[in-house]
A and B are shown apart, each in its own frame.
Chain A
């Protein structure tokens, strides 16, 4: 088990290093931030001076080595735009993203889980049909358009909720609902097909044949195994949501991580891009690690290997 954990941790660190390296080199292609930072009409001397003070005149590999060592110490540099440590700029946006992602995940998982279970258990009934149609529509709807439609109905026409911004529960309802629809649609479909697959297994028939109560069979034999792909899916979705859903944050003017990274890309603010992507990747990898450990609980065979 410890060896398993050590290998997984090593892989995680390797992946974070890879991500940071890719982002470092891709973001250097974006353009010259010195030109952007200075007012229009600054002469070449001023540009050169700023480039030297930002360290942009050094050979690219030297810049890479310097920023890698700095990052190991948790120093991602100073944001060109905000003139504050880049990691602080990104971390400030984290609570808003966590709030939105948490809401969407909680409601999406509850609704999607219940709907998926109903669809599998009430096979061939009108309930299954309704759940499946709703899930198909939910998966096919582009989230940003759904967000705009909800704004149209609940903010513009009915005037019940704000069109964007953050701060109160009312601000959270529409973006949370939009993302929850997407989450629950994916989970409902996956849980249903996963449950149906497991119900066909021989050991489920054996469990029924030896006279176990249907509830025991469902929770101990079926649900536990059917949850494995669903847990993976929830992990992937959680990672994506915590990385900030750029489009939803744009639609609802939500001050989250996705939007700050997007703004940093547009402004070519390298340190913020670097800090933001490193943070997002680290969260994603951490969640995957947790999912791997959860497998071990759901299916003890995996951790014993």
Chain B
């Protein structure tokens, strides 16, 4: 653990990503205590106020301006990050668990199970992810749970494919063969012997997937299929602000910057984790 943090400190990009991610997560967790205006309270007197940097700490300050209803954009971005990060994390965890377990099962049993699973992966790969997500959300209706399920659905196969490949190699190793020889059951081998050995690649994929899922979540809410108003969401803020692009550039600019910075920092952290744990994964995305 100590050497892990020492290596992180030495890598400028990794450290930068780690610190930014930590800041975003803290801001999301502590949002109610940051003294921000209520994100859903409109104030028609202060409609489309430009960003002002004077008197930053006075109660009426809007460092990133206000939107078409006079709602504070900074506050909406911070509260929006709670929604986005919760959905993205839940989707990553769900997709990661399902994908990892299926990958282990396919790699360990091989044969019919493996072929069937890989065919399903092929079929899903032939469907563009965005279309799949649109179709399923349209069928199920846009709710937080459905959003998590859909995003996990676009994600599980990336774990399944890579982990299956690793398990195919692992199952021939001596420690698995000897566990088998002393009579360990299939489940015991999969959970006690195979799972711990694929957790690292799963973690690396999870970090990189988190970045992709954040963008996809924003795209879905941009198309009106994400979290429903009045809850702030970054994609929805972009879609609503587009209308006012010629009069109030800040409404549509800052939510995008928030997405960019979040994805950038998660990507930097993910790249570093991959290089630290397993450089071989580099060309396997």
Q: Which residues of A come within 8 Å of B, CB atoms? A: 11, 14-16, 18-19, 22-23, 26-27, 29-30, 136-137, 139-142, 144-146, 148-149, 151-152, 156, 190, 193-194, 197, 229, 239-240, 243-247, 250-251, 258, 261-262, 265-266, 273, 277, 280-281, 284-285, 288
- The list of the 7 closest CB pairs from A to B, nearest first, reads A145-B256, A18-B123, A140-B264, A243-B128, A140-B263, A29-B139, A229-B283
B135-157 CB mask vs A (1 if < 8 Å, else 0) is: 11011100000000000000000
Q: List residues of B (215-229) whose CB comes within 8 Å of A's CBs.
A: 215, 218-219, 222-223
- Chain A residue nearest to B242 in the complex (CB): A148
Please name all residues of chain A whose beta carbon is closer than 8 Å to the beta carbon of B139 when the two chains form the complex: 26-27, 29-30
Q: In the complex the two chains form, is A265's CB within 8 Å of B134's CB?
A: yes
Please name all residues of chain B whose beta carbon is closer than 8 Å to the beta carbon of A262 when the two chains form the complex: 134, 223
- Known contacts A15-B122, A15-B123, A136-B268: A148-B245 contact under CB 8 Å: yes
Q: In the complex the two chains form, is B128's CB within 8 Å of A144's CB?
A: no
Q: In the complex the two chains form, is B219's CB within 8 Å of A280's CB?
A: no
Q: In the complex the two chains form, is A246's CB within 8 Å of B123's CB?
A: no
How many whole Å from B6's CB to the nearest CB in chain A?
A: 23
- Chain B residue nearest to A17 in the complex (CB): B123
Cβ contact of B222, chosen from A14, A245, A247, A258, cutoff 8 A: A247
What's the Cα separation between A144 and B264 when bound, in Å? 16
Please name all residues of chain B whose beta carbon is closer than 8 Å to the beta carbon of A144 when the two chains form the complex: 218-219, 222, 238
Please name all residues of chain B whose beta carbon is closer than 8 Å to the beta carbon of A30 when the two chains form the complex: 138-139
Q: Is the interface of B mostly helix, strand, loop or mixed?
A: helix
Q: In the complex the two chains form, is B267's CB within 8 Å of A152's CB?
A: no
B249 touches A (CB below 8 Å) = yes
Q: In the complex the two chains form, is A26's CB within 8 Å of B135's CB?
A: yes
What's the Cα separation between A286 and B242 when bound, in Å? 37
Q: Which residues of B come within 8 Å of A, CB atoms? A: 119-120, 122-123, 125-131, 134-136, 138-140, 211, 215, 218-219, 222-223, 238, 242, 245-246, 249, 252-253, 255-256, 259-261, 263-264, 267-268, 282-283, 285
Q: In the complex the two chains form, is B126's CB within 8 Å of A16's CB?
A: yes
What's the Cα separation between A193 and B271 when bound, in Å? 12
Cβ contact of A156, chosen from B119, B125, B245, B256, cutoff 8 A: B245
Q: In the complex the two chains form, is A145's CB within 8 Å of B122's CB?
A: no
Q: In the complex the two chains form, is B260's CB within 8 Å of A145's CB?
A: yes
Not counting A22-B127, A142-B219, a sample of 7 additional A-B residue pairs whose C-beta atoms are within 8 angstroms of each other reads A15-B125, A27-B139, A136-B268, A142-B218, A193-B282, A239-B128, A245-B130
Please name all residues of chain B whose beta carbon is closer than 8 Å to the beta carbon of A146 when the two chains form the complex: 256
What's the Cα separation between A193 and B281 when bound, in Å? 11
Please name all residues of chain B whose beta carbon is closer than 8 Å to the beta carbon of A11 when the two chains form the complex: 119, 122
Q: In the complex the two chains form, is A246's CB within 8 Å of B238's CB?
A: no
Q: In the complex the two chains form, is B256's CB within 8 Å of A142's CB?
A: yes
Please name all residues of chain B whose beta carbon is closer than 8 Å to the beta carbon of A194 when the two chains form the complex: 282-283
- Chain A residue nearest to B128 in the complex (CB): A243
Please name all residues of chain B whose beta carbon is closer than 8 Å to the beta carbon of A26 when the two chains form the complex: 135-136, 139
Q: In the complex the two chains form, is A27's CB within 8 Å of B256's CB?
A: no
Please name all residues of chain B whose beta carbon is closer than 8 Å to the beta carbon of A29 when the two chains form the complex: 139-140
- Known contacts A145-B238, A148-B242: A250-B260 contact under CB 8 Å: no
What's the Cα separation between A229 and B245 when bound, in Å? 40
- Chain B residue nearest to A30 in the complex (CB): B139
- Known contacts A14-B119, A19-B123, A142-B215: A149-B131 contact under CB 8 Å: no
What's the Cα separation between A10 and B82 when bound, in Å? 46
Please name all residues of chain B whose beta carbon is closer than 8 Å to the beta carbon of A193 when the two chains form the complex: 282-283
What's the Cα separation between A155 and B34 when bound, in Å? 38
Q: In the complex the two chains form, is B138's CB within 8 Å of A266's CB?
A: yes
How many whole Å from B151's CB to the nearest CB in chain A?
A: 15
- Known contacts A18-B123, A139-B267: A261-B131 contact under CB 8 Å: yes
Q: In the complex the two chains form, is B134's CB within 8 Å of A190's CB?
A: no
Q: In the complex the two chains form, is B131's CB within 8 Å of A145's CB?
A: no
What's the Cα separation between A149 and B261 when bound, in Å? 16
